[in-house]
Chain A
Amino acid sequence: MKTFGLSCIAFAGITLIVPQTLFATEKDELETLRKEVNQLKKQVASQTTLSPSPSSFNPAISLILMGRYATFDNDPEDYAIPGVSLPEETDPGPEGFSIGESELVISANVDNLFFGRFTTALTPENEVEIEEALIQTLALPAGLTAQFGRFYSDIGYLNSKHVHQWDFVDQPLVYRAYLGNQYNDDGLQLRWLAPTDMFLEFGGEVFRGENYPAGGAANHGAGSYTLFMKAGNDVGISHNWLAGLSYLATQSDNRQTEAGDTLFSGDEDTVIADLVWKWAPAGNDSVTSLVFQTEYMVNLEKGDYTIGGNIDPIDRNNTGWYAQLLYKFKPRWRTGLRYDRLSIGNPGSAFSGTSLDTQGQTPKRVSAMVDFSHSEYSRFRLQFNRDESYAVTDNQWYLQYTMSLGAHGAHRY
């Protein structure tokens, strides 16, 4: 209706103008009239699609397609971090061609008070996993924000990053060993942003405690909790940083790992310190930028392991860290270097010969990668790992693509 009305106005405008041009003898006048007609046409064109359609309230939908080709020296089935009973999906993945998890993200404001996001991962085995089903408040007073549903915990720097945002094909070894790549669970988060010039945020979470490093939804389904604080600021126009300190406390009630034959009941606590420092000349990262990132973790285990029917107590401290440097050396091209190292505590002689036996190993890994993004929606990556997680050194090569279709939301720092 509106379109029709506007077309009428434009038409009337044109008919009014046309007879006048017949008498206009001067070139200037003709030119002005031509411009007016063009202006009218533009106005009509710019307003024709304003009428709302029933689909305009549909949420934003984004689909991430990932896949790769991988080749390893060792059989990926043999992968282990001696001393850690690893959960599923923490190995280097299959050799050869394979698609990774395809991620489907649907998000929108629910109303003026709530925002919702739903992220499913469709695994190559044709299974559907709900990674996130979260509701976040938009209008709590005094700098408070609450979030609930299923979501990635805000501990550490990398924990809440989706797979397509990773700077390497795989997670650092500390994340693999102590968080099962990433800790997500069902729960509630409350965070508070301080009204300071510098970024300062405090938060805490309570989770069901179903997923690794928790398990079995202990404590009547509120088996883990976290506390975290984050601080960040600019240093001049070219530098900025974010640092964090987080604490994750999990209780487990018969947590299953290693294909279900290893059970753990007890407490596992993890402290994470993280720092990210970014640099770009004049704060413009279109041509060149440098990002330094490091995280250090302390992991404390206290409880009982049941392996092959034997119950043995454990009480040990583990640590680990990684550091990486990412360098954008020309538009669309980045290269990165990462070093990983774990130090896993001796569980005692009762565990010799089990997956918890450290075998005197200090797991470490060096990774190098180069990636090319044709646009912000497509990326190809080549990565090499010299992986010394266990006794036999493995050389791993990955060629990976990440494509993002549809509405693609903004990324966090």
Chain B
Amino acid sequence: MLNLFFTGMLFFVVSYPVSAALNVFACEPEWASLVQELGRDKVSVFSATTAQQDPHHIQARPSLIAKMHRADLLVCTGADLETGWLPVLLRRAANPKVQPGQPAYFEAAQHVSLLDKPVRLDRAEGDIHAAGDPHLHLNPHNISQITKALTLTLAAIDSQNAALYHQYENDFLTRWQQAMAQWEKQAAPLRDMGIVTQHKSWTYLIDWLGMKEITRLEPKPGVPPSTAYLTQVLATLQQQPARAILVAPYQNPQAADWLHSRTTIPVVFLPYTVGGNAEVTNLFELFDSTISKLLALTKP
């Protein structure tokens, strides 16, 4: 019985095929997309979540443990965004390479300055993140900064292809700078546009485009609105009108729909990340789609 058990184990170890590409475990689709841009055929990327799933709340399901076990590099947001599932995966995945502190453990939040750091750390304030708002990929300037750091990480753990990663980085950044200039020009009419958000997912986008968040549908991050609170939201909107209610694909639009029925402010589903709608398959299309959806609101 025991002999059989160990022979079986040995069989798995020996028969496991070794793949040439760098196995990358990305926590969110935006990082999967960025790694793909920077690694091309040298990487094999897996995204643990999709745009339809809330990155705060993910089941630490068995397939993720298996995927993380075989990863050569881990790319996540950090800033406690994945605190409900990543630590348990890391502890179960038996992969010393990607543990926090190792070169193959990459947290995007370490490489940009975070907005909205809470003044008061108390759960009564809702689902707050001590390090600051983690939805940081929605400012393309952050993507540039993270690109530089991520290329260094790729080059360090796969030094054979270091020159290639830098070449892909330069190519990506050139296209990215051009695209950013274009987006900023296009988005000029969005400056000072008043909007309502469902969850605090758009801080970086709002900051980048100079929009104004009039109010939020969640009284506190992660806390669903009560009727009394929604009445308050209505009162605020009477004084300061808003052009749109922004909702991410993974969010339940119930409260947004209610507000729409009371105010006729349109509910706008922005893609939020790669895969957030049918036309968004990479980071360029993410901002193309986001800006065109917002610009559509400025037209009469």
Contact = CB atoms under 8 A, between A and B. Distances in A.
Contacts of A139: 96, 99
A112 B96 CA distance: 9
Interface in A104-144: 112, 115, 136, 138-144
Contacts of A413: 59-62
Given A233-B62, A241-B62, A278-B59, 5 more contacts: A142-B13, A196-B16, A232-B62, A376-B84, A411-B84
A237 interface: yes
Interface stretch (B112-120, B266-274, B289-297): B112-120
Contacts of B34: none
B157 interface: no
Interface in A159-216: 191-200, 202
A12 interface: no
Q: Tell which of B57, B65, B94, B222 has the most Cβ of chain A within 10 Å.
A: B94
B164 to A, nearest CB: 26
Q: Tell which of A115, A193, A375 has the most Cβ of chain B within 10 Å.
A: A193
A144 B92 CA distance: 10
A234 B61 contact: yes
Interface in B28-76: 50, 52-54, 57, 59-63, 65-67, 69-70
A195 B70 contact: yes
17 contacts: A43-B113, A45-B117, A112-B101, A143-B95, A145-B92, A193-B93, A195-B69, A196-B16, A199-B66, A202-B5, A227-B5, A233-B62, A233-B63, A282-B53, A375-B126, A410-B87, A411-B88
Contact of B252 (A145, A232, A240, A331): A331
Contacts of B13: 142, 195
Interface in A33-55: 42-43, 45-47, 49
B131 to A, nearest CB: 9
Nearest to B97: A139
A323 to B, nearest CB: 20
Contacts of B189: none
A229 B2 CA distance: 13
B113 A46 contact: yes
Q: Tell which of B61, B83, B99, B132 has the most Cβ of chain A within 10 Å.
A: B61
B156 interface: no
Nearest to B207: A42
A113 to B, nearest CB: 9
B85 interface: yes
Contact of B115 (A42, A136, A376): A42
A375 B63 contact: no
Interface string A385-413: 00000000000000000000100011111
Contact of A284 (B52, B95, B224): B52
Given A331-B252, A410-B83, A285 B91 contact: no
A242 to B, nearest CB: 5
A48 B161 CA distance: 38
A287 interface: yes
B250 A145 contact: no
Interface magnitude class on chain B: 35 or more
A377 interface: yes
B226 to A, nearest CB: 11
Nearest to A377: B123
A410 B85 contact: yes
A3 interface: no
A412 B85 CA distance: 8
Nearest to A43: B113
Contact of B94 (A47, A140, A284, A411): A140
B137 to A, nearest CB: 17
Contacts of A410: 60, 83-89
Contacts of A240: 59, 61-63
Q: Tell which of A49, A285, A376, A412 has the most Cβ of chain B within 10 Å.
A: A412
A145 B99 CA distance: 14
Grouping DSSP codes into helix (H, G, I), strand (E, B) and loop, the B interface class, with mixed when no group exceeds half, is loop
Interface of A: 42-43, 45-47, 49, 112, 115, 136, 138-145, 191-200, 202, 227, 230-234, 237, 240-242, 278, 282-287, 331-332, 375-377, 405, 409-413
Contact of A282 (B50, B59, B127, B132): B50
A136 B62 contact: no
B113 A199 contact: no
A192 to B, nearest CB: 6
A409 B83 CA distance: 8
- Nearest 9 pairs of A and B residues by beta carbon: A232-B62, A199-B62, A139-B96, A410-B88, A282-B52, A199-B66, A234-B63, A193-B94, A240-B61
Contacts of A283: 50, 52-53
A112 B99 CA distance: 9
Contacts of B94: 140, 143-145, 191-193
B182 to A, nearest CB: 20
A112 B13 CA distance: 25
A267 to B, nearest CB: 16
Contacts of A49: 117
B9 A202 contact: yes
A284 B60 contact: no
Q: Tell which of B50, B65, B84, B224 has the most Cβ of chain A within 10 Å.
A: B65
B69 A138 contact: no
Contact of A409 (B53, B66, B87, B250): B87
B224 A199 contact: no
Contact of A194 (B12, B127, B132): B12
B69 A143 contact: yes
A112 B101 CA distance: 9
B94 to A, nearest CB: 5
Contacts of B99: 112, 138-139
B224 A332 contact: yes
A188 B184 CA distance: 59
A406 to B, nearest CB: 9
A140 B252 CA distance: 42
B88 A412 contact: yes
Nearest to A48: B117
B223 interface: yes
